[in-house]
Amino acid sequence: MDDTVQKQPMPDRSARDGLRRATDVIHQRLHQHPMLRRLAEGSISRSDYIALLHRFLMFHEAVEDRLHRGPDLSEHGIDVAERRRSPLLHNDLADLGAPAMIAPSPVHQFLLVPGSAAAAIGYLYVSEGSRLGGLGLARSLDGLLAPGSTVGRSFLVGYGPRHGAMWRDLCDAIERMGAADEDRDTMISAAMGAFALFEACIEARGTLLAETV
Ligand code: HEM
């Protein structure tokens, strides 16, 4: 992730604009979730931060699994394997001395394997877009983790400058795909499904054995 990612122009009526408008309500609702709000405010406890990482892991592992089993996106310039974010979450959990999640919640079963490239790109919009706010969130952890260090927050910091180019490539694919109304609608439905999965994951308190950490 880098700051340039957020400065990308987004013309009205673009396919990304359609995605953003359609998912705005749930995105804004997530900002109000107590755990995410405490993270943003810099007041999250270590145990809640670990619990939050487990929820992100549940979400990203489910999305990565479905994308892996879905259509090949190479002709759209997308390599889903290089966009996996779960390894960063595993690194952070290990750095914090927390176990990897060992009892995934059944909520992830509700995410379907994408039946088309448009649906897969809709999933990627959510999993990749979720890191746009990550750098700011990473900075808010200075009070909890060693300031200036990425240890324990590599997921939020992201893969560095490469993220800017990867996000732009995804936005290009979104626009190409969104040229057809049907594909645009499919992308939006898939993105809404992925957001709904994240919301279910973050509410999955009590379903993770790792919750006892
Ligand atoms: C407190 C938590 C969060 C904060 C502070 C936050 C903040 C942000 C910010 C600053 C942007 C960039 C907006 C722009 O480019 O103008 C963004 C974009 C985005 N975020 Fe979040 N976010 C949070 C949580 C999430 C979560 C949990 C998800 C999904 C699971 C998510 C999905 C997205 C998506 C898809 C975009 C791209 C929107 C676009 O097309 O510009 N965000 N977020």
Nearest protein Cα to ligand 1, atom 39 = 20
* Residue 105 CA: distances (Å) to CA of 65, 80, 91, 108, 126: 15, 23, 21, 7, 20
Q: Is residue 94 scored above 70 in pLDDT?
A: yes
Compute the average pLDDT of residues 143-170.
Answer: 87
pLDDT, mean of residues 116-124: 98
At residue 8, the pLDDT reads: 54
Ligand 1 centroid vs 73 CA: distance in angstroms?
Answer: 23
Report the atom number in ligand 1 closest to the C-alpha of 198.
30
Ligand 1: lining residues by beta carbon, under 6 Å: 6, 16, 19-20, 27, 30-31, 36, 40, 125-126, 129-130, 132-133, 137, 195, 198
What is the rounded average pLDDT of the residues 26-30?
95
Q: Which CATH number fits domain 13-212: 3.40.50.1980, 1.20.910.10, 3.40.30.10, 1.10.3720.10?
A: 1.20.910.10
Q: How far is the CA of 131 from the centre of ligand 1 (A)?
A: 7
Mean pLDDT computed over 4-33 = 82
pLDDT at residue 74 greater than cutoff 90: yes
Residue 27 Cα, ligand 1 centroid: separation in angstroms?
Answer: 7
- Domains of the chain by residue range: 13-212
- Whole-prediction pTM: 0.90
Q: Cβ neighbours of residue 81 under 8 Å, at least 6 residues apart?
A: 68
